[in-house]
């Protein structure tokens, strides 16, 4: 597993390398943002650790640029305690997770493992659609600031739709995603699930967002259409 550490603090960089190599990663280190970018464009990395504040180019900028260039690995951002963490949250920088300095090596390693495990599912980006907000980091969906209390399956279902608004998802696909491939459930379970989610959306005043497409499946649609 190849990993690039972009960190200007020499000592921290050294420390990181030590721990990561001991954990079996193949580690490269970049001293600043520009260097990190160059390295990424030259070599292939599975994971990236970016310091938030670096000379020449900040971690956010690097992450944003790389995502535009279709970088698909996991990105972990390092921030100092006193910097606004909300920034990480709010900005859709492309980072998947963050860690506040100082941190413990086992938390770092655990988060990295979590990242490589769920490579494609970013943690901290948010997706919104007509007042519905999906916050991956807290596994929460809310409507107009009202958090909606969803069970695991309900969450999986709604977030699936939310990630592809307006697009029809077939019943088959939904079942495979929510229950896993080869799940042994009746077709009706999905109906029941949909009903529950709709009820919960109603309860917080969200309009009729989940549209059923007869014979195909479901989609999230503009309530005023």
- Told to check if 192 binds a copy of itself by CB under 8 A, we report no
- State residue 135 phi and psi, 5-degree precision: -110, 105
Q: To the nearest whole angstrom, how small is the minimum distance from the Cβ of residue 195 to DNA?
A: 4
Q: What are the angstrom distances between the C-alpha of 101 and each of 51, 72, 108, 118, 205?
A: 10, 25, 10, 23, 40
Considering only 168, 189, 196, 210, the residue that binds a copy of itself (CB under 8 A) is: 168
* Listed ranges 10-18, 47-55, 66-74, 190-198: which one lies at the site for a copy of itself (CB under 8 A): 10-18
The binder of DNA chosen from 56, 146, 153, 163 (CB under 7 A): 153
Distance of CA 209 to the CA centre of its chain: 23
Residue 209 binds DNA, judged by CB under 7 A = no
The H or E element containing residue 39 is: helix 33-42
Q: How do strand 26-30 and strand 2-6 relate by DSSP bridges?
A: parallel
Q: Is 38 in the site for a copy of itself (CB under 8 A)?
A: no
Interface with DNA in residues 169-198 (CB under 7 A): 171, 179, 183-189, 191-196, 198
Return the one option of a copy of itself, DNA, none that residue 73 interacts with (CB less than 5 to 8 A, by type).
none
How far apart, in whole angstroms, are the C-alpha atoms of residue 187 and residue 123? 31
Task: By CB under 7 A, tell whether 104 contacts DNA.
Answer: no
Which position among 34, 64, 87, 204 is part of the footprint of a copy of itself (CB under 8 A)? 87
User: Rule CB under 7 A: which of 3-62 touch DNA?
Assistant: none
Those residues with Cβ within 8 angstroms of residue 50's Cβ, 6 or more apart along the chain or in another chain: 6, 33, 36, 59, 62, 63, 75, 76, 77, 78, 95
Report if residue 24 touches a copy of itself, rule: CB under 8 A. no
């Amino acid at each position: 597993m190849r990993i690039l550490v972009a960190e200007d603090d020499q000592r921290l960089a050294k420390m990181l390398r030590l721990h990561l190599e001991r954990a079996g990663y193949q580690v490269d280190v970049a001293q600043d943002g520009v260097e990190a970018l160059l390295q990424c464009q030259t070599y292939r990395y599975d994971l990236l650790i970016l310091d938030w504040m670096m000379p020449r180019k900040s971690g956010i900028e690097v992450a944003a640029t790389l995502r535009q260039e279709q970088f698909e690995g996991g990105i972990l951002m390092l921030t100092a305690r006193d910097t606004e963490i909300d920034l990480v949250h709010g900005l859709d920088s492309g980072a998947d997770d963050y860690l506040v300095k100082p941190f413990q090596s086992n938390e770092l390693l655990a988060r990295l493992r979590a990242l490589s495990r769920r490579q494609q599912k970013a943690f901290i980006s948010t997706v919104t659609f007509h007042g519905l907000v999906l916050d991956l980091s807290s596994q929460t969906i809310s409507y107009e600031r009202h958090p909606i209390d969803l069970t695991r399956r309900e969450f999986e279902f709604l977030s699936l739709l939310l990630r592809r608004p307006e697009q029809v998802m077939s019943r088959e696909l939904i079942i495979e995603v929510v229950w896993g491939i080869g799940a042994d459930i009746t077709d009706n379970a999905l109906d029941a699930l949909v009903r529950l989610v709709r009820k919960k959306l109603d309860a917080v005043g969200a309009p009729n967002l989940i549209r059923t497409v007869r014979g195909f499946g479901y989609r999230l649609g503009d309530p005023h259409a």
